[in-house]
Chains A and B, each alone.
Chain A
C-alpha cells in the first residue's frame, strides 16, 4: 500500500516534471518568438528611419536648389533693374530679404518712373514744337503783304 502510494506519488511527480518541462519549453518558444518579433520590429524601424532620413535629405536638397534658382532669378531681375534703372541704388538692400513680389513692385515702380520721365520729356518737346511753329508764323505774317504783291 505504501509502495502503491509511493508509486503513485512518483507517477505524479513524473507527471509534474513532465508538465513543468513542457511549460518550460513552451515558455522558451514564446520567448524566442517574442525575441524574433522584437528584432524584426527594430529592423523595420531602422529601415523606416533610413527612408525618412533620405526623404529629408532629398527635400532639403530640392529646397536648396529652389532657393538657389529663386535667388538667381532675383539677382537677375535686380541686374535688369540696375541696367534699366537710371541711378537705381541697390546697395542698401539685402538680397536674402527680397522676394519676387517686392521685386515685381520695384519693377512696377521703375516702369512708372520711366513713363513719368518719358511723359515729362514729351511734354517739353510738345511745347517746343508748338512754340517754334508759332514763332515762325509770327514772323511770317510780316512777309504776307509782300507775298501778296507778287
Chain B
C-alpha cells in the first residue's frame, strides 16, 4: 500500500470524509481551513474559507451538492461544493463537534459542546436542495439536550430511525430520531472513558465506536448490543468499518500532553487492522508522526485515508494481498 501524502494543513487533522463515489476527500483541521482533494492523484481541488476557529467536523450530502462543517467558532456552515461558496451559516452558543447528513440527505444533525451555562445538545435541521442552495430554514426540527453526560459524537441509524450518540462518560445512547426521546442507554466503554468516534456500517444497522479506554466496539443500532470488542494498547481516537472485507481500522496514540516522557516508543502512531468478526489484529500501517485523529474508508472499500495530529493526511489504496487475505474458514465459506 503506497500512500499518497496530502500536506495542505498546518495544524492537526480533525475529520476526513470521502464523497459517496470516492472521487473526492474532504479534510478539516485546527487551522480553520476546509480542503477538498482528488483521491485519484492527491491534488488539491480547493479550499473553503470562512470559519474563524478550528474546524472540528465535516460531512458530504449523499448527492454531493452540499458540504456541512462545524467549528470552534460556534458555527455550522453549508457550502456549495461546486462553487465553494458558503450558502448558509447557523450560529450556536458553543462549538460544534460533529455534523452528519441523514442517509437520504434531507436532515443534518449537529452536536454542540457543553459549556458553563449551556448543556451539550444534538440538533437537527431539514435540508433543502432547490435551485438556490442558500434557501435553508433557520428552524431546528429537533433538539435533544444531553443532561447526564455531553455527547461527543452522533450518527444516523438505518432508515434515519434513531440518532445514536457517544458520550463523554463512555456510554452510547439511542434517541428516537423523530421525537428525540431517549430510548436506550448502554455502557459501551469503560466508565469515564470518552467515546471519540462513532462510524456507521454501510447499511447503518450497526456501528463502531473508538474509546479512550483503548478499545473499539461493534454495536447494533437496534438494541445497542455489543457484538465485538477490539482491544488496542493505546487510547483510540477513531475507528472505521471497511466494506468489501470484514475488517475494521482503528487509529489513536497517546496524546503528547499525556505522554509522561519524550520517548517516542510511547506513541504507537499506527493504523491498526483487525478482523471484524474474529477480533484478531491482522496488521498495522505506520507513517504518522503523531496520534491518528481520524480515519475514513473509501465507500467502495478500495482505499482508506488517515488524518493525524502531525497535520498530514495519508491516503492508502489497498493492494491485491489485502483483498486476497482470508482466513481458512472464510475461504471455505467462499467456496460453498
Direct contact of A and B (CB under 8 A): no
